[in-house]
A and B are shown apart, each in its own frame.
Chain A
């Protein structure tokens, strides 16, 4: 695959544009490359799709594939996954984070209900909760879009997530094999850190209603995502009903995200925002702005997108 050089739009000519701060690294020429970023080999092009200076990774990447008893060829993460990888099991650390995440969410919801009861108000907290549900879908889409398109395994804080999302595109079915806490623990950890201070500091029923529902939906979005990869016959009937009602993201809608050109249907809570965001080309516009302002190309612009193309040689387990 040829590497295509590209020149960033010269910003100095936009004299009438409010000036933006551009760190000097942003003027580096960025190219598309077919090299996979899930490999353990060092990146061949240090400028490739990186929006932050390289630092040592702060988070250990949970391995998607490698096990201690793997075959001789599996030192690289590009190896096809085993059908029952121990890395998909939940550990006590995973369970602990999910427990703390759930606790903070439940405290938020409980505080909202108690305060609402004491103040004799119900409409505002419930409405706030509904808005939280709606906005959590939007948030999931924006985050998903960012993680899918920018950075790589070495990006600070987000590196492991980015690598996991890229692996997910290569082997989408793995998410259905992960145990519950294994799947949710990363989000649960983030929710714990964000919601705990709000739990402590905030007593307003409406705000807590919003926070409780929004954070709960975000934390469980990975479960909704896993269900969206399930098959109808294997899913619990209530889940299927919620998917078909549009309350949870549907299998059909999400499968569109896993097809070329991999640049749509990013939202994974209810998917209610997907049609609007795709029709209005919101993410395309954001990608163009980031390209012209920071010189970074999103992964979805590179073809063929070998990092995302589902690996079909590996037989997915029969559901």
Chain B
């Protein structure tokens, strides 16, 4: 069952109306990843590799993004030191994966510093924190160094993982979304929290959830 928290802080006249994102319990996760487009939370994937035989060469299928209760697609990305990090590395312990727009922007800095300041609480809960944005490793290195961030920042160049996980964009697609996932020890998503303009709330919500795991 997916529970997607809608952004609590929205611009009534600027943001599109936030419609509840309909979860799909049976996601066609085996569909190959090709071009995708987002429409009200549903990912339309155009692929020619469907297992279902079809007379037409290409079929349109609907693939749900990562929802609560699902195991998200794995990734292997480089961290701020250039080392390769896979999601599977964190199996066996809870992990907070937070997607943020970009290094050195006010909201992202606030969020990163908030995660830093509460890092001990996350460690106490046995959880790891991983931040992901489209910036490259050198940007992450400088960002982490400047703000003394004690956790991993991963470079999702090309935003492939962001798209695979179905992180929605904001403001009619002009802004990369700010969405946080909490994965339990089994690697299943237990919380999906989205809030672009109140970044510190991500820390509160994730800690609240971790304390109940």
B49 contacts A by Cβ under 8 Å: no
Shortest CB-to-CB span from B39 to chain A, Å, is 8
Count, chain A residues at interface, CB 8 A: 28
Interface string of A1-45 (1 = CB under 8 A from B): 010111111101111111000000000000000000000000000
Is the CB of B103 closer than 8 A to any CB of chain A?
yes
Tell me the bound Cα distance from A18 to B197 in angstroms: 23
Residues 252-278 (chain A) with a chain B CB within 8 angstroms? 263
List the one stretch of A64-72, A156-164, A171-179, A281-289 in contact with chain B: A281-289
Binds A, one of B51-59, B69-77, B90-98, B170-178: B170-178
Q: Is A122 an interface residue (CB 8 A)?
A: no
Our pick among A2, A5, A18, A281 for the contact of B173 (Cβ within 8 Å) is A18
Which of B138, B157, B172 is within 8 Å of A10, CB to CB? B157
Contact across chains for B105 and A288 when beta carbons are under 8 A apart: yes
Closest to A6 in B: B104
* B197 proximity list for chain A (CB < 8 A): 281, 284-285
Q: Which residues of B contact A281 (CB under 8 A)?
A: 9, 11, 197
**Using Cβ atoms and an 8 Å threshold, which residues of chain A touch B138?**
5
A280 at the interface (CB under 8 A from B): yes
| CA gap between A5 and B143 in the complex, in Å | 10
Q: How far is the CB of A117 from chain B (nearest CB, A)?
A: 36
A280 touches B174 (CB 8 A): no
A16→B163 CA distance, assembly (Å) = 10
Chain B interface, number of residues (Cβ within 8 angstroms):
38
Tell me which of A6, A7, A15 contacts B35 (CB under 8 A): A15
Q: How far is the CA of A6 from the CA of B142 in the complex (A)?
A: 9
A288 to B14, CA, bound (A): 14
Report chain A residues within 8 Å CB of B105: 288, 291, 301
Does A292 count as interface, using CB distance less than 8 angstroms?
yes
Query: DSSP class of A's interface residues: helix, strand, loop or mixed?
Result: loop
B48 at the interface (CB under 8 A from A): no
Q: Would you call A288 and B104 a contact (CB within 8 A)?
A: no
A293 at the binding interface (Cβ < 8 Å): yes
- CA distance in complex: A9, B132 (Å): 12
Is there an interface contact between B171 and A289, defined as CB atoms closer than 8 Å?
Answer: yes
Q: Which chain B residue has the least Cβ–Cβ distance from A10? A: B134
CA of A293 to CA of B101 in the docked complex: distance in angstroms? 13
Task: Verify A9–B101 contact, CB threshold 8 A.
Answer: yes
Which B-chain residue is minimally distant from A291 (CB atoms)? Answer: B105
B residues within 8 A CB of A291?
102, 105
Given contacts A289-B175, A291-B105, contact A16 B37 (CB under 8 A): yes
Q: Let me know if B104 and A301 touch, CB within 8 A.
A: yes
The interface residues of chain B lying within 8 Å CB-to-CB of A292 are 101-102, 174-176
Which residues 21-48 of B have a CB within 8 angstroms of A? 35-39
Report whether B107 and A288 are in contact in the complex, using a CB–CB cutoff of 8 Å: yes
Cα separation A7 to B133 with both chains bound (whole Å): 11
Residues on A with beta carbons closer than 8 Å to the beta carbon of B14: 280, 282, 285
The answer to whether the Cβ of B106 comes within 8 Å of any Cβ in the partner chain is yes
Q: Are B101 and A15 in contact (CB under 8 A)?
A: no
B5 at the interface (CB under 8 A from A): no
- Complex Cα spacing A16 to B171, Å: 13
Tell me the bound Cα distance from A199 to B103 in angstroms.
Answer: 49
CB < 8 Å neighbour of B171 from A2, A7, A15, A285:
A285
Instruction: Give the A-binding residues of B (Cβ under 8 A).
Output: 9, 11-12, 14, 35-39, 101-107, 134-136, 138-139, 142, 146, 157-160, 162-163, 169, 171-176, 196-197
Cβ-closest 3 pairs across A and B = A16-B37, A17-B173, A13-B159
Q: Could you name 13 residue pairs across A and B whose Cβ atoms are closer than 8 Å?
A: A2-B146, A5-B138, A9-B134, A9-B176, A13-B158, A13-B159, A15-B37, A17-B173, A281-B9, A282-B14, A284-B106, A289-B174, A301-B104
